[in-house]
Chains A and B, each alone.
Chain A
Amino acid sequence: MTNVIETETLTKSFGGMTAVSGTSFSVEPGTIVGLIGPNGSGKTTTLNLLNGAIAPDQGTIRVQGENLAGKSSTAFVKAGVTRTFQNPRVFSTVTAMENLLVPVLHTRGGKAGFTKKAEELLETVGLLGHRDTPASELSGGQQKLLEFVRALMTDPHIVLMDEPFAGVHPSVKEVMREAIVERNKAGTAFMIVSHEIPDLTRLCSRIICMSDGQVIAEGTPGEVTSHPLVIEAYLGQGPASRGERG
């Protein structure tokens, strides 16, 4: 089966600093993959590359087999890649309902059908009662949930999520987690960047760890969290730094 996303030697530099360096990995359909790493390891840059927010200096990004490296964000959405941000970027001047309708502007179908779909999505995260509320009046956690369901409006193959659990109330975190699981059961893949390792190990079947722009470990949550290079990257010490590398 074709991988939802597959990168090869993905590289991105900003001035003299290489944020992502020759990174290769893949995400299989219907999986939830965690992307971890210390601050500055290149996680968010990787997400920005994977949804076309920025173009790579070199390397390929295959979405459902098609190389989209250098294409616009719109092309990535069209191919089935959507995303959320660490600080939710909802359209604050429009209502929650309108936030969900904006992404389907170029999709075939009537407004009534899209409205019903949006209502169902708002219901899944408990925001249906706020459908006509301007997004600016929602709490930070509610904005994160709104942004999440907005990313689902176009029925993506994969949703890229940047720190979905950071800074939100535990109840919101639980709603988010359940919504991700439900959607994943329906076949949507997820790639989640998070520092909340316990949350990720509960959700993900596979975790990728980055450090200094490179993938340093990849495997099941148990394998990755006990990997010496991962421990070293997070703690700056461990078997690897003591010369005990494999």
Chain B
Amino acid sequence: MNEIVQSLINGALLGGVYGGLAMGLSLLLGVLRIVNLAHSAVLIFGALLYWQFVNGFGLDPLLMIAPVVLIAYLFGLGVHRGVTQYLTRESDSTVMLAFFGLMIILESIAIMIWTTDTKTVALGYLSGVIRIGDLNIPVSRVVAAAITLVVLVALHFFLTRTLTGSAIRGMAQNRDVAAMVGINVEKLSRRVFGAGIALAAFGGTVLSLVSSFSPQEHTRWLAWAFLVVILGGLGSAMRTLVAGIAVGIFETVVGLLIPFQYTYLALYALLAVALLIRNEGLGGIKQRTI
């Protein structure tokens, strides 16, 4: 019984992190219709940068999340100015190819700088364990899930309670009409893109608190992010969080029931079932808006 409760808690906390891991992908797909294949590369780049700050420079693990996110945001603004803004009217396949290219570039740079070695962030004061009866809950996992919760709730309120949030949701529905009512869609798109990239890097920082990682295995997290996005729909921070938690719990509970090596198979089966039930796949997602 304890094992199941332990798994549920672990899964929920891990799932919270998965929500953070997927939010950037969801935002860019939902608002800008961009299938950001470079999402996981940005995520791992963010994790590596974070690792560099914490392990390399010995800086505080909690305080270093914000700088990584800010750097990623500025990088996102630059990518938008240099690349993305020219892809607005291009076909989906062209956009995907462009971001596939960006993924390769980021991955190569990451490997050049940090090699392919697996990295683990030195958790420092976050490395303890909370004991409740027979349950052991890693502090780092609680902190990562809590930070993700705060960020996603803040994003939810930003999107639903502010003028800019309303404009973003309007632009998500119809970019041309948004321009015709006076929205500077280029400027807003640039900021949303920056936010999407920043959220991807944020996902990398919280992921690195709960898991080791290496530059060349980032596509695994891309699949995870897509799974969460497909389950949760586009652009909604709360639905993304719930979907992330569902995936986390599924992963840990299934891990209890079947041999570890089949866990991923079960997760991809869940992805297939999700697509079958929703009966719309990526084409359907493209039609929906936040």
What residues of chain A lie closer than 8 Å to B184, measured between beta carbons? 74, 106
Q: Who on chain A is nearest to B288 by CB?
A: A93
Decide yes or no whether B132 CB sits under 8 A from chain A: no
Could you tell me if A91 and B182 are in contact, using CB atoms closer than 8 angstroms?
no
Among the listed A83, A99, A154, which residue makes an inter-chain contact with B170, where contact means beta carbons less than 8 Å apart?
Answer: A99
What residues of chain A lie closer than 8 Å to B163, measured between beta carbons? 101-102, 104-105, 111, 114
Could you tell me if B290 and A101 are in contact, using CB atoms closer than 8 angstroms?
no
Among the listed A82, A99, A103, which residue makes an inter-chain contact with B183, where contact means beta carbons less than 8 Å apart?
Answer: A103
Could you tell me if B185 and A74 are in contact, using CB atoms closer than 8 angstroms?
yes
Could you tell me if B183 and A91 are in contact, using CB atoms closer than 8 angstroms?
no
Could you tell me if B183 and A93 are in contact, using CB atoms closer than 8 angstroms?
no
A188 smallest CB distance to B (angstroms): 16
Could you tell me if B169 and A74 are in contact, using CB atoms closer than 8 angstroms?
no
What residues of chain B lie closer than 8 Å to A101, measured between beta carbons? 163, 166-167
A104 smallest CB distance to B (angstroms): 7
Among the listed B164, B188, B290, which residue makes an inter-chain contact with A93, where contact means beta carbons less than 8 Å apart?
Answer: B290
Could you tell me if A102 and B180 are in contact, using CB atoms closer than 8 angstroms?
no
Q: Who on chain A is nearest to B172 by CB?
A: A93
Decide yes or no whether A168 CB sits under 8 A from chain B: no
Decide yes or no whether B289 CB sits under 8 A from chain A: yes
| A73/B180 contact (C-beta < 8 A), A105-B163, A111-B163 known | yes
> How many Å lie between the Cα of A101 and that of B169 in the bound state?
12
What residues of chain B lie closer than 8 Å to A93, measured between beta carbons? 169, 172-173, 289-290
> How many Å lie between the Cα of A73 and that of B178 in the bound state?
9
Could you tell me if A94 and B166 are in contact, using CB atoms closer than 8 angstroms?
yes
Among the listed A74, A89, A94, A98, which residue makes an inter-chain contact with B182, where contact means beta carbons less than 8 Å apart?
Answer: A74
Decide yes or no whether A157 CB sits under 8 A from chain B: no
Decide yes or no whether B174 CB sits under 8 A from chain A: yes
What residues of chain B lie closer than 8 Å to A74, measured between beta carbons? 179, 182-185
What residues of chain A lie closer than 8 Å to B290, measured between beta carbons? 93
What residues of chain A lie closer than 8 Å to B289, measured between beta carbons? 93
| A94/B170 contact (C-beta < 8 A), A101-B163, A105-B163 known | yes
Decide yes or no whether B181 CB sits under 8 A from chain A: yes
What residues of chain B lie closer than 8 Å to A53, measured between beta carbons? 176, 180
Decide yes or no whether B273 CB sits under 8 A from chain A: no
A84 smallest CB distance to B (angstroms): 10
Decide yes or no whether A169 CB sits under 8 A from chain B: no
What residues of chain B lie closer than 8 Å to A241, measured between beta carbons? none
Could you tell me if A77 and B177 are in contact, using CB atoms closer than 8 angstroms?
no
Could you tell me if A91 and B177 are in contact, using CB atoms closer than 8 angstroms?
yes
> How many Å lie between the Cα of A117 and that of B170 in the bound state?
19
> How many Å lie between the Cα of A139 and that of B49 in the bound state?
52
Decide yes or no whether A39 CB sits under 8 A from chain B: no
| A102/B166 contact (C-beta < 8 A), A74-B182, A78-B182, A150-B181 known | yes
Decide yes or no whether A92 CB sits under 8 A from chain B: yes
> How many Å lie between the Cα of A106 and that of B164 in the bound state?
9
B182 smallest CB distance to A (angstroms): 4
Give the residues from 32 to 53 in chain A that come closer than 8 angstroms, CB to CB, to chain B: 51-53
> How many Å lie between the Cα of A45 and that of B172 in the bound state?
25
Residue with the greatest number of chain A CB neighbours at <10 A, chosen from B172, B176, B183, B289: B183
Could you tell me if A98 and B179 are in contact, using CB atoms closer than 8 angstroms?
no
Could you tell me if B169 and A91 are in contact, using CB atoms closer than 8 angstroms?
yes
Give the residues from 51 to 71 in chain A that come closer than 8 angstroms, CB to CB, to chain B: 51-53
Decide yes or no whether A151 CB sits under 8 A from chain B: yes
Q: Who on chain B is nearest to A154 by CB?
A: B182
> How many Å lie between the Cα of A91 and that of B177 in the bound state?
9
A225 smallest CB distance to B (angstroms): 31
Could you tell me if B166 and A77 are in contact, using CB atoms closer than 8 angstroms?
no
Residue with the greatest number of chain B CB neighbours at <10 A, chosen from A99, A103, A105, A151: A105
B197 smallest CB distance to A (angstroms): 22
Would you list 23 pairs from A and B whose C-beta atoms are within 8 A, ordered by A residue? A74-B179, A74-B184, A77-B182, A83-B180, A89-B174, A91-B170, A91-B177, A91-B178, A93-B172, A93-B290, A94-B166, A94-B169, A98-B166, A102-B163, A102-B170, A102-B181, A104-B182, A105-B188, A106-B183, A106-B184, A114-B163, A150-B181, A154-B182
Q: Which 9 A-B pairs have the closest CB atoms?
A: A77-B182, A91-B170, A98-B166, A103-B181, A102-B170, A73-B179, A73-B180, A105-B167, A103-B182
